[in-house]
Chain A
Amino acid sequence: MIRFDHVSIEYEKGKRVLDDISFEIRDGESVGLIGANGAGKSTVMKSLLGLIPHEGSITVDGLEVYKENLSQVRKKLGLVLQNSDNQMFMPTVLEDIMFGLLNYGMSREEAEKKADGILSKLGLEDLKYRHNHKLSGGEKRMAAIATVLAMEPDAVLMDEPTSALDPYNRRIIIDTIRGMNITKIITSHDLDMIMDTCSRVILLSGGRVAADGDADVILRDKELLESKRLELPLSLQTR
């Protein structure tokens, strides 16, 4: 279970990016985190992994997110960064996927087998030996997702997973997300994708939770969405 209890965050003194936020995410829930640019979505995700200092209390399975617990917390959570360029640092895709597995003590053979498994699940066998710096934006994104899923985290956080993807890969990611029986937190401006993958939505605005509830209800609330600089999902728009 993930819990935010009166959490506030400021990057610069006096400018609160998150302002006294509280919510709870139960095991196995799939939550869409939505909001306009700069609403604080990425900040929520990073703070959950202890990458940004916070006030208040964030807990993961009862573990307070702070220095002593970080390695345990991070083992439970997998984060797909908004910018995949910053996620991949080994020369090839295979080595990048294996990096985390090896750090957690897996043998090379096991790790490579696992990497093969995740690559074929995502239909990325071709990328295995490719050099990271020679991948297209979308390929890089897919590979970054593979590196995180290979770790088999208890919960996965995806920051804009579909933003660079073509419709085909977008569909693969949606299907993969739907197929995973773990806790999922997904941010996106692709509200159709959120509708396809999430049962609950948290809407952030001005550093606060503006709405929190059933995806079906919130994503159909035209007035609410538009007041927060968003729009109805395309599939619900009628003209």
Chain B
Amino acid sequence: MIMTCFVLLYTGMEKIDAAVAELREMDDLAALESPVHSLHPLAKLLTTFIYIFVTVSFDKYDLSGLIVMLVYPVLMFQASGIKMSTCFYKLRIVLPLVCAVGLFNPFFDKAPMLSIGALTVSGGVISMITLMMKGVFSLMASFIFVSTTSLDAICAALRKIHIPSVIVTLLLLTFRYVTVMMEEVSVMTTAYMLRAPGQKGINYKAWGSFLGQLLLRSMDRSEELYSSMLLRGFNGEFSYADVPKGRLADWLFTIAASVLFFVFRYVNVAELLGNIIMRG
């Protein structure tokens, strides 16, 4: 949280406003209509879990097997009408971090793996690439889930699988209050900038008092927001939009997708296709 504040302070107000808008745009994306949007949230959640589980379980040298897993997110993006570029744009801060994870593998694992002509590729390079792919694929699948399902529906789905109400409410409120805090930052930076024209970012000398103020203001606002929830009968449990009963199609989707994932996992489809083409 504190880190976020520092990053926000440094970036200045237009960017904060943009960030608030961006967070809120997720609501807009979730309000679109498509076959993916209308899938049952629980079915989507499960499928996403299974997808990530299978993706992560690939052998670290199984590059050709893993590549095939890309089919799922790509198809889902197609079907949902959400551009893949939106996903990469929104995840632009996380993506490099995920990719950085495998960066040192090439230095530790130098055993040659395969050679293309005169070029020998070491195991470390392969495992670096697969690790990055696992991260990116999982992010893509999660993004598809989050951007095609409203926060309300996500929470309702989590409640359905008996995640405790405290945790679900916490998730919901965190999301709601993060935007409150960011708005506060935006208002305060605006006030600061108006009285410090020509200055880029906020002078480091002011950071302490700025952060203190921010904390107090966000607390005050959250407190008042929370009281107005209490005033309207909030008792710790949100009444989420009724999640309709899953249709057969929803569960068929989950089952079919999962079967596919496991096929991809245990049959090397890329190799198989290659063989068929070579023979034919």
- Which residues of A are in contact with B by a Cβ distance under 8 Å? 46, 49, 51, 70-71, 74-75, 77-79, 81, 83, 85-87, 89, 91, 95, 99-100, 102-104, 108, 131, 133, 147, 151
Please give 6 more A-B residue pairs, beta carbons under 8 A apart, in addition to A86-B225, A89-B176, A89-B229.
Answer: A49-B231, A74-B230, A74-B233, A79-B231, A108-B241, A133-B20
- Which residues of B are in contact with A by a Cβ distance under 8 Å? 20, 24, 27, 151-152, 176, 179, 183, 221, 224-225, 227-235, 239, 241-242
Considering the chains assembled together, what is the distance between the CA atoms of A86 and B232 in angstroms? 13
Task: Please indicate the chain A residues that have their CB under 8 angstroms from the CB of B183 in the complex.
Answer: 133
Return the 4 tightest CB-CB contacts between A and B, nearest first.
Answer: A100-B232, A103-B233, A86-B224, A102-B239
Considering the chains assembled together, what is the distance between the CA atoms of A31 and B28 in angstroms? 43
Q: Which of A70, A79, A86 contacts B221 (CB 8 A)?
A: A86
| A-B pairs with beta carbons under 8 Å apart, 30 shown | A46-B227, A49-B231, A51-B227, A70-B230, A71-B235, A74-B230, A74-B231, A78-B231, A79-B231, A81-B224, A81-B228, A85-B221, A86-B221, A86-B224, A86-B228, A87-B228, A89-B229, A95-B152, A99-B232, A103-B232, A103-B233, A103-B234, A104-B233, A108-B241, A108-B242, A131-B24, A131-B27, A133-B20, A133-B24, A147-B232
Considering the chains assembled together, what is the distance between the CA atoms of A86 and B227 in angstroms? 9
Considering the chains assembled together, what is the distance between the CA atoms of A10 and B228 in angstroms? 21
Considering the chains assembled together, what is the distance between the CA atoms of A78 and B152 in angstroms? 25
What is the predominant secondary structure among interface residues of chain B facing chain A?
helix
In the complex, which residue of chain A has the Cβ closest to the Cβ of B226? A89
In the complex, which residue of chain A has the Cβ closest to the Cβ of B24? A133
Q: Are A100 and B233 touching (Cβ within 8 A)? A: yes
Query: A80 CB to closest chain B CB, in angstroms?
Result: 10
Considering the chains assembled together, what is the distance between the CA atoms of A102 and B242 in angstroms? 11
Interface-central residue, B179, B231, B235, by most chain A CB under 10 Å: B231
Interface-central residue, A83, A102, A103, A108, by most chain B CB under 10 Å: A103
Task: Please indicate the chain B residues that have their CB under 8 angstroms from the CB of A78 in the complex.
Answer: 231
Task: Please indicate the chain B residues that have their CB under 8 angstroms from the CB of A91 in the complex.
Answer: 27, 151
Considering the chains assembled together, what is the distance between the CA atoms of A85 and B176 in angstroms? 13
Task: Please indicate the chain A residues that have their CB under 8 angstroms from the CB of B234 in the complex.
Answer: 99, 103
Query: B235 CB to closest chain A CB, in angstroms?
Result: 7
In the complex, which residue of chain A has the Cβ closest to the Cβ of B28? A131
Q: Are B224 and A83 touching (Cβ within 8 A)? A: yes
In the complex, which residue of chain B has the Cβ closest to the Cβ of A79? B231
In the complex, which residue of chain A has the Cβ closest to the Cβ of B21? A133
Q: Are B225 and A89 touching (Cβ within 8 A)? A: yes
Considering the chains assembled together, what is the distance between the CA atoms of A147 and B228 in angstroms? 11
Q: Are A103 and B239 touching (Cβ within 8 A)? A: yes
In the complex, which residue of chain A has the Cβ closest to the Cβ of B235? A103
In the complex, which residue of chain A has the Cβ closest to the Cβ of B177? A89
Considering the chains assembled together, what is the distance between the CA atoms of A83 and B151 in angstroms? 26
Considering the chains assembled together, what is the distance between the CA atoms of A49 and B239 in angstroms? 23
Task: Please indicate the chain B residues that have their CB under 8 angstroms from the CB of A100 in the complex.
Answer: 232-233
Q: Which of A46, A75, A81, A86 contacts B233 (CB 8 A)?
A: A75
In the complex, which residue of chain B has the Cβ closest to the Cβ of A70? B230
Considering the chains assembled together, what is the distance between the CA atoms of A78 and B221 in angstroms? 19
Considering the chains assembled together, what is the distance between the CA atoms of A188 and B241 in angstroms? 37
Considering the chains assembled together, what is the distance between the CA atoms of A5 and B258 in angstroms? 67
Task: Please indicate the chain B residues that have their CB under 8 angstroms from the CB of A108 in the complex.
Answer: 241-242
Query: B228 CB to closest chain A CB, in angstroms?
Result: 5
Task: Please indicate the chain B residues that have their CB under 8 angstroms from the CB of A151 in the complex.
Answer: 232
Q: Are A71 and B225 touching (Cβ within 8 A)? A: no
Considering the chains assembled together, what is the distance between the CA atoms of A64 and B228 in angstroms? 20
Task: Please indicate the chain B residues that have their CB under 8 angstroms from the CB of A83 in the complex.
Answer: 224
In the complex, which residue of chain B has the Cβ closest to the Cβ of A95? B152
Task: Please indicate the chain B residues that have their CB under 8 angstroms from the CB of A81 in the complex.
Answer: 224, 228
